[in-house]
């Protein structure tokens, strides 16, 4: 019996309904369901082949840029297969990120395996291995069967064929919805306009009456605020995240709250699930939070990690209480005791000098890495302070740089640079003809991300690679260089913490006192004195 063409098979049912049924058939409350949903979104939205999906690695996905690097399709058997970068829809990018958040645990040293597969097998025999094209074929047939589409000819390629008609149907639906929303918006605008004119007339009467009563001061009507006229029913999580300035803080809160609701309710933190949690009484909520904390301890998570996850949950509850959504808090849930700044010694200046000398400054990459390392050492900068700087923040003549300091929101701080750092940054910038003020000060140079802002992870990898090339035995990171710089500054100033605070930009002087105590090793000195007494 001859095989049916995939296009003929698809013509037997509505395309939009077919794609929606396939996506809705994924049980997204399970690991396999999250993975299958992300794969199906790529097949439908981006018309990828199953071999292209199978070949994707974790490093190929960029959630912030909503892009994915894939292998181009073969046109002929002998043609070279080169990579290309495609844009992702918000739904597809979110699906991929949700899958990564559940299965991918970053390495402890911060380094990622560039070849780690994006999609892995979850069965017992091949767990963790790259998902094959055959497995994706079986995945599509299984999900189609769950969706009630019992057709032997269902294959990943049909999802590629369905993409165009599915998009057209979605456009038509969106157009109809937009027309309805436009009519509703016009009616609301008329009502708001009537309300505004009524308020305006009453305000004018009040102003005239007040002028007659006071006889001198003119009172202007308050500006009209649209959100004051609308019903205030916010999404608690969205409102909480919007209240945080730092992008890293928003990401951390969102990730930690997702962990809690997946553990407590087996669901992501939707508005309905959060409302269900907030409607509990105080003792039920504390019981759930304490059980969650116990689970984190049993899993062997560090004290700082447990505290961060509990802090995110407490912040959600406190924020909801401010909006009147609950009348209790989680203050009775105690956090873990954490010893801060256990090792602040870093390495000696000779080690930093060795790292600087190991960089080949005849290359563009070497000029960039040298400038980054000079800034990290000379100014004890944090890596986020380095990556957030723009070209316009650097002033060669004044030897200064504006940085976004930790905990200062969007307010930039001006710091002075040493002559060595100034020349190093200028040497790096001289490699480029275009120096627009809003461009990043340090950019990626690899083929896939060239011209994009360098990330904090990339700074970590640069420092680690230079340290290993320099035979530095201690595990190095950007913050370890900051520790080294602050400790060396205390040595050079004979423990003048007030002066060094201007360099480190610590808000609390007690933090610098910990650096000074670790530097002088007073405990070791006293132990030696006691040993000499016997």
* Interval 276-287: pLDDT, tens: 999 999 999 999
pLDDT of amino acid 339: 65
pLDDT of amino acid 341: 56
Give the DSSP letter of residue 362.
T
* Residue 194 in this model has a pLDDT that exceeds 60: no
Kindly report, residue by residue over 371-393, the tens digit of the pLDDT.
999 999 999 999 989 999 999 99
Among 461, 468, 478, 381, which residue's Cα sits nearest to residue 425? Answer: 381
pLDDT of amino acid 464: 94
pLDDT category of residue 82 using cuts at 50, 70 and 90: low
pLDDT of amino acid 7: 34
pLDDT category of residue 364 using cuts at 50, 70 and 90: very high
% of the chain beyond a pLDDT of 70: 75
The region of weakest confidence among 100-104, 277-281, 412-416, 436-440 is: 100-104
**Which pair of structure tokens corresponds to residue 515?**
């650096």
* Residue 220 in this model has a pLDDT that exceeds 50: no
SS3 string, 440-478, reads ECCECCCCCCCCCECCHHHHHHHHHHHHHHCCCCCCCCH
* Residue 487 in this model has a pLDDT that exceeds 60: yes
The region of weakest confidence among 103-107, 198-202, 304-308, 495-499 is: 198-202
pLDDT of amino acid 154: 61
Of 11-20, 194-203, 288-297, the range with the highest mean pLDDT is 288-297
Long-range contacts of 76-80 (CB under 8 A, 24+ apart): none
pLDDT of amino acid 101: 80
Give the contacts of 76 (CB within 8 A, at least 6 positions apart): none
- Provide the terminal-to-terminal Cα distance of the chain, rounded to the nearest Å: 98
Mean pLDDT of the chain: 79
* Residue 223 in this model has a pLDDT that exceeds 80: no
Q: Tell me the mean pLDDT in the region 64-71.
A: 86
Q: Tell me the mean pLDDT in the region 105-117.
A: 57
Instruction: Report how far residue 26's alpha carbon sits from residue 40's, in angstroms, rounded to the nearest whole number.
Output: 9
* Residue 309 in this model has a pLDDT that exceeds 80: yes
**Cβ count within 10 A of residue 449:** 19
pLDDT of amino acid 462: 95
494: left (phi over 0), alpha (psi -120 to 50) or beta: left
**Which pair of structure tokens corresponds to residue 218?**
């003119």
The torsion angle over the Cα atoms of residues 170, 176, 178 and 182, rounded to 10 degrees, is 180
pLDDT of amino acid 109: 46
pLDDT of amino acid 217: 41
* Residue 8 in this model has a pLDDT that exceeds 50: no
Distances (CA, A) of 144 to 51, 136, 159: 19, 12, 11
The region of weakest confidence among 358-367, 418-427, 449-458, 463-472 is: 449-458
Q: Tell me the mean pLDDT in the region 258-271.
A: 90
% of the chain beyond a pLDDT of 90: 33
* Residue 421 in this model has a pLDDT that exceeds 60: yes
pLDDT of amino acid 85: 86
More confident residue, 349 or 185: 349
CA 508 from centroid of its chain's CA atoms: 28
pLDDT category of residue 153 using cuts at 50, 70 and 90: low
Q: Tell me the mean pLDDT in the region 463-478.
A: 93
Helix locations, 215-302, DSSP H: 226-229, 236-242, 247-265, 271-278, 282-298
Q: Tell me the mean pLDDT in the region 156-182.
A: 52
* Residue 343 in this model has a pLDDT that exceeds 80: no
pLDDT category of residue 50 using cuts at 50, 70 and 90: confident
pLDDT of amino acid 359: 95
Q: Tell me the mean pLDDT in the region 110-124.
A: 71
* Residue 207 in this model has a pLDDT that exceeds 70: no
pLDDT of amino acid 329: 92
* Residue 221 in this model has a pLDDT that exceeds 70: no
pLDDT category of residue 23 using cuts at 50, 70 and 90: confident
pLDDT category of residue 157 using cuts at 50, 70 and 90: low
């Amino acid at each position: 019996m001859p095989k049916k063409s995939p296009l003929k098979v698809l013509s037997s049912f509505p395309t939009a309904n077919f794609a929606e049924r396939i996506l809705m058939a994924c049980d997204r409350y399970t690991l396999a369901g999250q993975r299958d949903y992300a794969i199906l979104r790529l097949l439908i939205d981006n018309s990828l082949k199953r071999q292209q999906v199978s070949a994707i690695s974790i490093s190929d996905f960029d959630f912030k840029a909503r892009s994915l690097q894939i292998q181009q399709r073969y046109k002929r058997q002998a043609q070279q297969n080169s990579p290309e970068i495609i844009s992702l829809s918000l739904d597809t990018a979110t699906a991929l990120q949700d899958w990564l958040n559940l299965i991918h645990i970053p390495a402890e040293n911060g380094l990622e395996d560039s070849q780690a597969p994006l999609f892995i097998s979850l069965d017992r025999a091949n767990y963790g291995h790259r998902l094959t094209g055959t497995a994706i074929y079986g995945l599509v047939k299984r999900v189609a069967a769950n969706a009630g589409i019992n057709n032997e000819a269902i294959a990943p390629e049909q999802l590629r064929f369905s993409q165009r008609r599915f998009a057209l149907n979605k456009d038509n639906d969106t157009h109809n919805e937009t027309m309805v929303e436009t009519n509703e918006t016009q009616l609301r605008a008329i009502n708001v306009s009537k309300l505004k004119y009524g308020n305006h007339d009453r305000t004018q009467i009040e102003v005239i009456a007040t002028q007659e009563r006071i006889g001198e001061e003119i009172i202007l009507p308050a500006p009209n605020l649209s959100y004051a006229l609308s019903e205030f029913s916010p999404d608690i999580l969205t409102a909480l995240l919007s209240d945080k300035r730092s992008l890293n803080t928003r990401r951390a809160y969102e990730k930690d709250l997702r962990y809690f609701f997946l553990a407590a309710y087996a669901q992501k933190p939707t508005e309905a699930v959060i409302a269900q949690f907030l409607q509990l009484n105080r003792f039920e909520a504390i019981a759930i939070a304490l059980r969650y904390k116990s689970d984190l301890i049993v899993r062997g998570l560090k004290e700082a990690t447990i505290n961060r996850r509990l802090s995110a949950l407490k912040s959600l509850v406190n924020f909801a209480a401010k909006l009147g959504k609950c009348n209790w808090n989680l203050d009775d849930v105690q956090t873990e005791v954490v010893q801060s700044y256990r090792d602040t010694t870093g390495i000696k200046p000779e080690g930093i000098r060795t790292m600087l000398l190991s960089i080949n400054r005849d290359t563009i990459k070497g000029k960039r890495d040298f400038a980054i390392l000079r800034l990290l050492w000379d100014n004890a900068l944090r890596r986020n302070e380095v990556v957030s700087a723009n070209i316009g923040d650097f002033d060669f003549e004044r030897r200064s740089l504006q940085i976004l300091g930790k905990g200062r929101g969007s307010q930039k701080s001006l710091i002075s640079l040493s002559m060595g750092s100034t020349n190093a940054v200028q040497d790096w910038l001289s490699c480029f003809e275009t120096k627009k003020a809003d461009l990043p000060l340090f950019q990626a140079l690899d083929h896939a991300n060239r011209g994009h802002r360098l990330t904090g992870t990339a700074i970590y990898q640069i420092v680690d690679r230079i340290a290993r090339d320099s035979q530095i035995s201690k595990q190095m990171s950007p913050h370890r260089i900051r520790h080294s710089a602050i400790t060396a500054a205390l040595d050079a100033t004979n423990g003048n913490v007030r002066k060094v605070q201007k360099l480190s930009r610590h808000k609390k002087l007690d933090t610098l006192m910990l650096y000074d105590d670790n530097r002088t090793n007073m405990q070791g000195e006293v132990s030696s004195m006691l040993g000499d007494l016997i």
